[in-house]
Amino acid sequence: SFGKIESGNENQHSPGKRKKCGGWKLASLLLVNQGLATLAFFGVGVNLVLLLTRVLDQDNAVAANNVSKWTGTVYLCSLIGAFLSDSYWGRYLTCAIFQLILVLGLGLLSFASWFFLISPTGCGDGMKLCNTPSPVGVVMLYLSIYLIALGYGGHQPTVATLGADQFDDSNPNAVISKAAFFSSFYFALNVGSLFSNTILVYYEDSGKWTLGFLVSFGAAIIALLLYLSGTSRYRYVKASGNPLPRVAQVFVAAYRKWGVTPATVDALYEVEGTESAIKGSRKILHSNDFKFLDKAATITSMDLRGPNNPWKLCTVTQVEEAKCVLKMLPIWLCTIIYSVIFTQMASLFVEQGDVMASKLKNFRIPAASMSAFDICSVLIWTGVYRHVVVPVSRSLTGNPKGLTELQRMGTGLIIGMIAMVAAGVTEIQRLKFVSPGSKKSSLSIFWQVPQYVLVGASEVFMYVGQLEFFNGQAPDGIKSFGSSLCMASMSLGNYVSSLLINIVMEVTTRDGGPGWIPDDLNDGHLDRFYFLIAGLTAVDFIIYVYCAKWYNGINLDTSENGIQLEEQQKEVLASLMS
């Protein structure tokens, strides 16, 4: 049964067998899997707003709102996947199940498009109108896209953690390999989205919706089959049980002992041996942060009377796990404003480009396709970072990884702020070239290239840094939760951006004016909104620097090489086959 996967600790095979499990070969297989899954996902997401307006005949505002809700759902689903992965199913099973959900969603969408939505054939191209879809077709559409949201959202952070698991922590090169993996992971993600944002978006934009969805469906099937092909060779980490009660126990125990003076470090409660009380997790050494929580591990006379009660007495490792969550939260909150920057590419950047000169001879450049410059920037900067930035910073700092994760994320914030300034300057120039009575500016859409390129460069620093930081600093029992924080930041970035726009429009239209972001951008001041985001990012950066200086990293007990993985292999595989 699958339940066997959850119990037990990491073990070790002989050195000869260890080489057969995990490593770069299996990590590369997961990178290809991620690229194909991303291609499949963005084959739907990149043009979803046009599908809703052209095929379902929704208003722009309604469609944009529906897409925002859907996008937020995608990233919130990452928390569901992370929770199930860390608590019950383990990484492998969680990835397999959510990929299957993704395949089902794409299959249902292709079926609904073919038989219920795209009628007559070729409609929804911006010229040919579609017939009003039946209620059954609409229900199937919404069911399918939310299955896609659940499948991709639950899969992405878990496959990132599974990929990192393929490198043995007892190997001195594991830290460097994991850093390279996370850079490659984001590279693979953008290779997949590049295909969707160029090839698939062209076919869907021209009315060949079903073809685009079928390609996404096929890519998801190939991704799942490739993933399953590595089943016997992955390195596995078993689930550590539900972390919520463990964290709650620390706070309850500390509250019950509020009047107790915390014991010295040597006197705090911890289990004997190399393994922690949390199954599948290494011990975490004591830290001096949030000392009031040490009360939960302080042994009193009451604790000596009878069996151990985790709601009254917790181990040092359990207390430190709760401390890790508290320490990561301020850093995570500081990344949300960056996600507001990132969100503009799918909304205001597109609206801005839509009222610029976009014809290249007889070919009209879709405003949404300008995101290809962002993707190309990510691909280029991933290589530049690994082969230029890392060696140079390594020689200057002595850090094998070059910049620390916190330094990398801070750099991403600065570059993102510059991108908003560039977008504001472009908008000022665009308004100068608007002729009276004209809806579009004569300024070329290629003026947007710098802002897209800068956002792409900032992603390499911020989002890859986030993946490394939250995965590396999360205790063993909540690794997938750490990886999911990156996507959760994107989710809140969507909601904060929407809230910010509503506030700005409420304030700037009080005197009866059109506001900063009206329906006709030529009557507004989109540049001021961009500069506002840049200003908020500057303030956020100051707070971030303070939080980064305050932060103390996790200190794992590696005296016995922690917990080993490989002797679990047969047990896990046997349970999968049963």
Mean pLDDT to the nearest integer, 167-184 = 77
Domain boundary among 191, 224, 239: 239
* CB 489, CB 339: distance < 8 Å: yes
Q: What percent of the chain has pLDDT over 70?
A: 90
Lowest mean pLDDT: which of 66-75, 101-110, 290-299?
A: 66-75
**Residue-wise pLDDT tens digits, 247-262:** 899 999 999 999 899 8
Give the CB-side neighbour count of residue 575, counting CA atoms within 13 A.
18
Q: What percent of the chain has pLDDT over 90?
A: 33
Contacting residues for 526 by C-beta, under 8 A, at least 6 apart = 348, 352, 427, 516, 517
pLDDT tier at 573, thresholds 50, 70, 90: very low
Contacting residues for 306 by C-beta, under 8 A, at least 6 apart = none
Q: Roughly how many angstroms between the first and final C-alpha of the chain, as a whole number? A: 5
**Residue-wise pLDDT tens digits, 336-391:** 999 999 988 877 888 888 889 888 877 778 787 888 899 899 989 988 988 899 88
Do 234 and 262 sit in the same domain of this protein?
A: no
Distance CA 188, CA 191 (A): 5
pLDDT tier at 60, thresholds 50, 70, 90: low
Q: Which domain CATH number covers 77? A: 1.20.1250.20
**Residue-wise pLDDT tens digits, 400-431:** 778 889 999 999 999 999 999 999 999 999 99
Closest CA to 339 of 347, 275, 156: 347
Residue 84 domain-assigned? yes
Residue 8 domain-assigned? no
Q: What is the mean pLDDT of the chain?
A: 84
The answer, yes or no, to whether residue 216 has pLDDT greater than 90, is yes
Do 392 and 476 sit in the same domain of this protein?
A: yes
Residue 7 domain-assigned? no
Do 399 and 364 sit in the same domain of this protein?
A: yes
Do 288 and 345 sit in the same domain of this protein?
A: no
Closest CA to 421 of 534, 541, 537, 536: 534
Q: How far is CA 157 from the centre of its chain?
A: 6
The answer, yes or no, to whether residue 3 has pLDDT greater than 60, is no
Residue 574 domain-assigned? no
Please give the structure tokens belonging to residue 525: 């001041």
- Domain extent, residue 274, equals 243-320
The answer, yes or no, to whether residue 274 has pLDDT greater than 70, is no
Mean pLDDT to the nearest integer, 289-294 = 91
Q: What is the pLDDT of residue 497?
A: 85
pTM for the full model?
Answer: 0.79
Residue 21 domain-assigned? no
- 434 forms beta bridges with 441
What total of structural domains would you count in the chain? 3
Do 184 and 271 sit in the same domain of this protein?
A: no
Cα radius of gyration (the chain): 25
* CB 319, CB 293: distance < 8 Å: yes
Q: How far is CA 565 from CA 17, 280, 391, 471, 472, in A?
A: 12, 9, 32, 18, 17
The answer, yes or no, to whether residue 223 has pLDDT greater than 60, is yes
The answer, yes or no, to whether residue 525 has pLDDT greater than 60, is yes
Do 461 and 528 sit in the same domain of this protein?
A: yes
Residue 249 domain-assigned? yes
Domain boundary among 320, 336, 356: 320
Q: What is the pLDDT of residue 563?
A: 42
Task: Please indicate whether residue 107 or residue 303 has the higher confidence score (pLDDT).
Answer: 107
Q: What is the pLDDT of residue 10?
A: 40
Do 147 and 217 sit in the same domain of this protein?
A: yes
Residue 176 domain-assigned? yes
Residue 279 domain-assigned? yes
Q: What angle do CA 441, 447, 452 make, to 5 degrees?
A: 125
Do 299 and 271 sit in the same domain of this protein?
A: yes
Please give the structure tokens belonging to residue 343: 């969100």
pLDDT tier at 50, thresholds 50, 70, 90: confident
Do 43 and 125 sit in the same domain of this protein?
A: yes
Q: How far is CA 477 from CA 158, 243, 317, 428, 569, in A?
A: 13, 7, 11, 50, 19
pLDDT tier at 87, thresholds 50, 70, 90: confident
* CB 112, CB 141: distance < 8 Å: yes
pLDDT tier at 200, thresholds 50, 70, 90: confident
Do 273 and 147 sit in the same domain of this protein?
A: no
Domain boundary among 207, 239, 271: 239
Do 527 and 539 sit in the same domain of this protein?
A: yes
* CB 336, CB 492: distance < 8 Å: yes
Task: Please indicate whether residue 478 or residue 420 has the higher confidence score (pLDDT).
Answer: 420
Do 303 and 389 sit in the same domain of this protein?
A: no
